[in-house]
Chain A
């Protein structure tokens, strides 16, 4: 079975503001870039997939477990790793302690969380900073802490919400290196509002606008939507967003 989120008729709204309505989609295996303008519903979609938000209607299923089924929720949360837009340090904890604490929050026993935190730091290239106070890290280092937090459960699918926003070019490149190393070993969905993030490093592209999926396909299929006379990336994106 493919370990990726399956949305079935999912609706969600913040108070009266409907974000998703009867949304159904099965994300494919491998890496997916979730593209869309600000306010398109990308973060909400990822938070629903992460089990942070519960759908008002419909279900989100990963590896046979539903996010809203109390009996399956533990397994669901350990299958899905989620990195939100804002990664914050917990005052008083070292980098390793913060990652281990997240492991415990996600359901690991204390000793397992501590042991596994070392490997997770290794994936994120943070073992050298393991003992540093988490609140003394740079923005880029904190994003990598976010990656380590996401990976400590050894999830089947990783969801990254705008992971490179605000990073300087060096930190951005370092973060991409981390993602590249993960590629192939885990399925992941990366949301972004920056069309220039589309690259052949991704297996799929999904474009969301106004809570509606406007496109889902391979990178090649995405670029095939471009007008030959226009810059390829911008044209493909504009055509997809504008298409009804």
Chain B
């Protein structure tokens, strides 16, 4: 008869762990939850924050019960590594099962995502590292201390770094909660850094768990220190978010042969193509009446300054798309707007209302505009066509610079 010989508490905790991780995963917010990378990150964060501490505690329990049982005084033929493997296999499998369930839940939530291989593997590494670290702790401390220290310590080391500076420290734990908008992807540096740390802890934990030789313990400590240093170096250029610009090669572009107009969208937004096509056609037609022509290429993501660039999200309504398209027609605001030294600031809101009117979408900013801007926009639109052209061309230029005074409607009337 085949028997597991050593019952693990992990067997009883697997289902509660699955429930806990699914709850954490389901209630996660931040980023566009429809985006594959976001869901992967949320899945990893759920594993790191909720599953890993429990597994570390179980690892500590397994080590402490072996310690208490005094069985190594019997003359043991198995190597310590074999003993560790047998003790922790159920715990690690439980962790991997939880990870698999979470990843299946993620895949169901967003079936078309193609996860980064490394990010896909990261939670599995975190499971192993937490369990081994807990075991190594349990070998050295009494269970009454080792188990709570393993649980609380793992949780704090995972979650607390997002509250401290430098900001990049948070990227070492795999507990990334700020990813991703559709135009960004997970930074390979953050994922690799977290994977290096998890792997380093796993190897150091295995070394510590399988030996008490001072030289190997020293090697484990030095090795882990080096891995931490290398991973820190890797992520130290990142800010608070573990993201980088998404490659524009991901854009799916369709060009109309007759007009030459091209519309490029992120794959996640392909269901919006019809609405965007229709709205942009209406805007082009309306602008044409003012002898204005937006760029032929309408695109999400920055491809070139010659393109009509806009941004939207998966569940956008038609009015939100109208607003996004009109915003894309406005010039990019200069950095000085943050400093307050921006004379054209008084007409940016007015320009948005005027452009929205020219685009045939006057309601695009209706709810956002201030009363003063609405009054000034009405004054502009009451000017003659020639004067409106002067106002428009002068202020489009002024808005794009930091030192040009705008032209007001009263100056032209």
Q: Which residues of A contact B (CB under 8 A)?
A: 47, 50-52, 73-74, 77-78, 80, 82-84, 86-93, 97-98, 100-102, 104-107, 110-111, 113-115, 149-150
Determine if B159 is an interface residue (Cβ-Cβ < 8 Å). Answer: no
Q: Top 5 nearest A-B pairs by Cβ distance?
A: A90-B69, A107-B77, A114-B3, A88-B70, A51-B75
The answer to whether B75 and A52 touch across the interface, beta carbons within 8 angstroms, is: yes
Distance to closest chain B CB from A135 (angstroms): 9
The answer to whether A105 and B7 touch across the interface, beta carbons within 8 angstroms, is: no
Per-position 1/0 for B82-93, Cβ under 8 A of A: 010010000000
22 A-B contact pairs sorted by A residue (CB < 8 Å)? A47-B73, A51-B75, A78-B77, A82-B75, A84-B73, A87-B70, A88-B69, A90-B68, A90-B69, A92-B6, A92-B8, A92-B9, A97-B5, A101-B6, A102-B71, A104-B5, A106-B77, A107-B77, A107-B78, A110-B5, A113-B5, A114-B1
The answer to whether B7 and A90 touch across the interface, beta carbons within 8 angstroms, is: no
How many Å lie between the Cα of A62 and that of B76 in the bound state?
Answer: 16
Set of chain A residues within 8 Å of B65, measured between Cβ atoms: 90-92
The answer to whether A111 and B3 touch across the interface, beta carbons within 8 angstroms, is: yes
The answer to whether A93 and B74 touch across the interface, beta carbons within 8 angstroms, is: no
Determine if B227 is an interface residue (Cβ-Cβ < 8 Å). Answer: no
Distance to closest chain A CB from B214 (angstroms): 15
Distance to closest chain B CB from A141 (angstroms): 15
Determine if B2 is an interface residue (Cβ-Cβ < 8 Å). Answer: yes
The answer to whether A97 and B68 touch across the interface, beta carbons within 8 angstroms, is: no
How many Å lie between the Cα of A111 and that of B2 in the bound state?
Answer: 5
Q: Knowing A89-B69, A90-B71, A105-B83 are in contact, say whether A100-B5 is a contact too (CB < 8 A).
A: yes
How many Å lie between the Cα of A115 and that of B1 in the bound state?
Answer: 7
Q: How many residues of B contact A (CB 8 A)?
A: 23
How many Å lie between the Cα of A78 and that of B76 in the bound state?
Answer: 9
The answer to whether A77 and B75 touch across the interface, beta carbons within 8 angstroms, is: yes
Closest to A75 in B: B77
Q: Knowing A101-B6, A110-B2, A111-B2 are in contact, say whether A88-B68 is a contact too (CB < 8 A).
A: yes
Main secondary structure of the interface of B (DSSP, over half): loop
The answer to whether B7 and A50 touch across the interface, beta carbons within 8 angstroms, is: no
The answer to whether A104 and B9 touch across the interface, beta carbons within 8 angstroms, is: no
Determine if B66 is an interface residue (Cβ-Cβ < 8 Å). Answer: yes
Q: Which residues of B contact A (CB under 8 A)?
A: 1-9, 65-66, 68-71, 73-78, 83, 86
How many Å lie between the Cα of A114 and that of B4 in the bound state?
Answer: 9
The answer to whether B73 and A101 touch across the interface, beta carbons within 8 angstroms, is: no
Distance to closest chain B CB from A127 (angstroms): 16
Distance to closest chain B CB from A153 (angstroms): 9
Q: A-B pairs with CB below 8 Å: how many?
A: 87
Set of chain A residues within 8 Å of B73, measured between Cβ atoms: 47, 52, 84, 86
Of A78, A91, A113, chain B has the most CB atoms within 10 Å of the CB of A91
The answer to whether A52 and B5 touch across the interface, beta carbons within 8 angstroms, is: no
Distance to closest chain A CB from B5 (angstroms): 5
Distance to closest chain A CB from B144 (angstroms): 13
Set of chain A residues within 8 Å of B76, measured between Cβ atoms: 77, 105-106
How many Å lie between the Cα of A239 and that of B147 in the bound state?
Answer: 54
The answer to whether A104 and B78 touch across the interface, beta carbons within 8 angstroms, is: yes
How many Å lie between the Cα of A98 and that of B73 in the bound state?
Answer: 14
| B75 CB contact (under 8 Å) in A50, A91, A97 | A50
Distance to closest chain A CB from B72 (angstroms): 8
Set of chain B residues within 8 Å of A78, measured between Cβ atoms: 77
The answer to whether A104 and B86 touch across the interface, beta carbons within 8 angstroms, is: yes
The answer to whether B78 and A105 touch across the interface, beta carbons within 8 angstroms, is: yes
Extra 4 A-B pairs, beta carbons < 8 Å, given A91-B65, A104-B5, A114-B5: A50-B75, A97-B3, A110-B3, A113-B5
Set of chain A residues within 8 Å of B71, measured between Cβ atoms: 88, 90, 101-102, 105
Closest to A108 in B: B77
Closest to B62 in A: A92
Distance to closest chain A CB from B210 (angstroms): 14
Of A86, A97, A101, A111, chain B has the most CB atoms within 10 Å of the CB of A101
How many Å lie between the Cα of A107 and that of B83 in the bound state?
Answer: 11
Q: Knowing A50-B75, A106-B76 are in contact, say whether A93-B7 is a contact too (CB < 8 A).
A: yes
Set of chain B residues within 8 Å of A106, measured between Cβ atoms: 74-78
How many Å lie between the Cα of A179 and that of B9 in the bound state?
Answer: 36
How many Å lie between the Cα of A105 and that of B71 in the bound state?
Answer: 9
How many Å lie between the Cα of A164 and that of B47 in the bound state?
Answer: 50
How many Å lie between the Cα of A87 and that of B70 in the bound state?
Answer: 7
The answer to whether A77 and B7 touch across the interface, beta carbons within 8 angstroms, is: no
Of A80, A83, A92, A115, chain B has the most CB atoms within 10 Å of the CB of A92
How many Å lie between the Cα of A183 and that of B382 in the bound state?
Answer: 117
Closest to A109 in B: B2
Q: Knowing A88-B69, A90-B68, A90-B69 are in contact, say whether A149-B74 is a contact too (CB < 8 A).
A: yes
How many Å lie between the Cα of A149 and that of B75 in the bound state?
Answer: 11
Set of chain B residues within 8 Å of A88, measured between Cβ atoms: 68-71
Distance to closest chain A CB from B46 (angstroms): 28
Set of chain B residues within 8 Å of A101, measured between Cβ atoms: 5-6, 71
Set of chain B residues within 8 Å of A74, measured between Cβ atoms: 77
The answer to whether B2 and A91 touch across the interface, beta carbons within 8 angstroms, is: no
Q: Knowing A110-B5, A111-B3, A114-B3 are in contact, say whether A82-B74 is a contact too (CB < 8 A).
A: yes
| A97 CB contact (under 8 Å) in B1, B6, B70 | B6
How many Å lie between the Cα of A111 and that of B73 in the bound state?
Answer: 23
How many Å lie between the Cα of A222 and that of B65 in the bound state?
Answer: 43
Set of chain B residues within 8 Å of A83, measured between Cβ atoms: 74
Distance to closest chain B CB from A121 (angstroms): 14
Closest to A78 in B: B77
Set of chain A residues within 8 Å of B86, measured between Cβ atoms: 104
Q: Knowing A86-B70, A90-B68 are in contact, say whether A77-B77 is a contact too (CB < 8 A).
A: yes
Of B3, B7, B75, B86, chain A has the most CB atoms within 10 Å of the CB of B75
